[in-house]
A and B are shown apart, each in its own frame.
Chain A
């Protein structure tokens, strides 16, 4: 656990305690489990985003990917009545392919990640809308999908499955990032790609690997998100979700310049964003202030963290 993670954890505890004091129902089982569910949904693709940011890249296309993969997924299940494991597999593979495409464009053709994924955002959003002729895709007229519904949005031992999925993803990616050679290469490429290349690392393969994982996790998130809302409207589904992911990663200690960040930090960043949205509803703050509350608390938290850090640094040198 780094100092940044500790600071973020402390901020979470403080905000949680204040909210719980104002309304004890914040800590009710129902509310905590609802929140765990949302943390799972948003955490998984935030981790994917974090990996890409660590290499010094960015993925602006995840929200649009949810819309495109989401409409295809619902279409496969509802209109083509594809056996659900195949439908899930198709979505995961499609996510991988889109990730691979981004990775190749960035590494082989030397395009900027911002441009590649911004174009991705526009193209996927448009493709999703064209594919559905601007209609909403939903399970309203669907047949029997009980097993998959349970897998994607059910609960085991009272714990929502998206949260369990996040725990598994965080553990696997945590080991990959913090305990494997590939992980060390990711940081090396993010810190200084040139130096990494000269020291014999195949930097292209490493970067493509990050985009691949990001795509796969976006595919997985699509399946879970689709079952959370049960319908996908191609023009709005997942709008701005890339910003939630980027915010979670940056709050969690990832530097947009690359080379920094941890899986724990990204998860804590996601938790913070979800608590802030929950608190608006639980405390009955007008919905219109939702984003303003989120922005102010994050700004104050980061400011406090920085000031404390500076003072500690000053003490250490004194």
Chain B
């Protein structure tokens, strides 16, 4: 008994700390933005949410990052949000295809938007985010531009069971179809950065005929950049990437990386929050008939990298 009461003490403390927060949340309507995993990408989205919150201070807006990138963890978070009676949830579902039931429960009890990864089979109000197949096609075009003569390409990504990885690969294949660039293989690293780098190093050691490498997730491109530089194959191996890691941008400025396809997470955060506010206040005019608001991707290459670098530094400043 004594042991149990000792354990109960910190729990009681934690609860008493959380109570005033919950009470405050009841006065103001709360909007939550649930992401899939911790990443710089979402730090940028957070800035967008902060901007929306400045425009609509009568709402509380928060971003929730799961401890692990698992559908189970996300489900727990959503259940807790519904128990807290939040007015709206924007979510980047980890496994949208198999989470319809959870998403519909959320849609029944609050306003549900999807962002970053869509769940078209659910009762979500609208999707605000990238079309990853289209982003893949953009990357495919960049690969063609980097290799006008054609050649062999290798793709690197964290895991292939993630929708955005599959869609990006699909888009790249579509763009390259019928051309003279061949995709030799897709190597995965299970989100381990060190393995991401060794995959590139091993590929460079094994094959001298690779002309282009593409990194599909944010951390892949910097690891390709470093390994290619380490092996002294800059210029001989072209690099095309996704997202806006600091090293990726540095590589573009140096001319080692040809270009990168970036999404606009700032817009995901801002538009999701503003959209939910509008919806709650009865304005539905912003929702297109297809219920998808596609935020276009941008290409960052040598011509615009400096301006973009400065912009990112400003957004990512944490203190």
Chain B residue, CB-CB nearest to A279: B202
A28 CA to B218 CA in the complex, in Å?
31
A101–chain B nearest beta-carbon distance, Å = 19
Query: Does A135 sit within 8 A of B, measured CB to CB?
Result: yes
Inter-chain contact B199/A281, CB cutoff 8 Å? yes
A228 CA to B250 CA in the complex, in Å?
17
Inter-chain contact A281/B193, CB cutoff 8 Å? no
A228 CA to B198 CA in the complex, in Å?
10
Inter-chain contact B65/A34, CB cutoff 8 Å? no
Of B37, B199, B206, B218, most A-chain CB atoms within 10 Å: B206
A303 CA to B246 CA in the complex, in Å?
47
Binds B, one of A137-145, A188-196, A199-207, A258-266: A137-145
A290 CA to B196 CA in the complex, in Å?
13
Query: Does B72 sit within 8 A of A, measured CB to CB?
Result: no
Binds A, one of B19-27, B88-96, B114-122, B181-189: B181-189
Find chain B residues with CB under 8 A from A236 CB. Answer: 191-193
Given contacts A31-B205, A230-B226, A233-B39, contact A138 B67 (CB under 8 A): no
Query: Using an 8 Å CB-CB cutoff, how does the interface string of B200-218 with A read, 1 for contact, 0 for none?
Result: 0111111000000000001
SS class, residues of chain B in contact with chain A: helix
Given contacts A230-B247, A278-B202, A284-B185, contact A41 B194 (CB under 8 A): yes
Query: Does A127 sit within 8 A of B, measured CB to CB?
Result: no
Find chain A residues with CB under 8 A from B245 CB. Answer: 136, 138, 140, 231
Find chain A residues with CB under 8 A from B205 CB. Answer: 25, 28, 30-31, 34, 282
Of B185, B196, B203, B247, most A-chain CB atoms within 10 Å: B247
Find chain B residues with CB under 8 A from A229 CB. Answer: 193-194, 196-197, 223
A61–chain B nearest beta-carbon distance, Å = 16
Residue from B160, B222, B226 in contact with A288 in the complex, judged by beta carbons closer than 8 Å: B160
A167 CA to B245 CA in the complex, in Å?
34
A126 CA to B69 CA in the complex, in Å?
14
B103–chain A nearest beta-carbon distance, Å = 23
A282 CA to B67 CA in the complex, in Å?
34
B17–chain A nearest beta-carbon distance, Å = 16
A313 CA to B45 CA in the complex, in Å?
65
Instruction: Count how many chain B residues have C-beta atoms less than 8 Å from C-beta atoms of the other chain.
Output: 50
Query: Does B162 sit within 8 A of A, measured CB to CB?
Result: no
Residue from A34, A233, A288 in contact with B193 in the complex, judged by beta carbons closer than 8 Å: A233
Inter-chain contact A140/B198, CB cutoff 8 Å? no
Chain A residue, CB-CB nearest to B160: A288
Query: Does A225 sit within 8 A of B, measured CB to CB?
Result: yes
Inter-chain contact B188/A231, CB cutoff 8 Å? no
A135 CA to B313 CA in the complex, in Å?
13
Given contacts A31-B205, A141-B313, contact A133 B318 (CB under 8 A): yes
A228 CA to B319 CA in the complex, in Å?
26
Inter-chain contact A34/B201, CB cutoff 8 Å? yes
Given contacts A132-B318, A231-B245, A234-B38, contact A278 B198 (CB under 8 A): yes
Inter-chain contact A135/B194, CB cutoff 8 Å? no
A265 CA to B283 CA in the complex, in Å?
69
Query: Using an 8 Å CB-CB cutoff, how does the interface string of B239-255 with A read, 1 for contact, 0 for none?
Result: 00000011111100000
Query: Does A134 sit within 8 A of B, measured CB to CB?
Result: yes
Residue from A34, A132, A231 in contact with B202 in the complex, judged by beta carbons closer than 8 Å: A34
A38 CA to B196 CA in the complex, in Å?
13
Query: Does A307 sit within 8 A of B, measured CB to CB?
Result: no
Inter-chain contact B247/A30, CB cutoff 8 Å? no
Besides A34-B198, A79-B319, 12 other A-B contacts (C-beta < 8 A): A129-B38, A129-B65, A133-B43, A133-B318, A134-B43, A135-B316, A135-B318, A229-B194, A229-B197, A231-B245, A233-B38, A239-B191
Can you name 10 A-B residue pairings with CB atoms under 8 Å? A25-B206, A34-B201, A129-B65, A140-B245, A231-B222, A235-B37, A236-B192, A239-B191, A240-B192, A287-B189
Which 8 residue pairs across A and B have the least CB separation, nearest first?
A: A140-B246, A134-B38, A281-B202, A31-B205, A287-B188, A229-B193, A235-B38, A135-B43
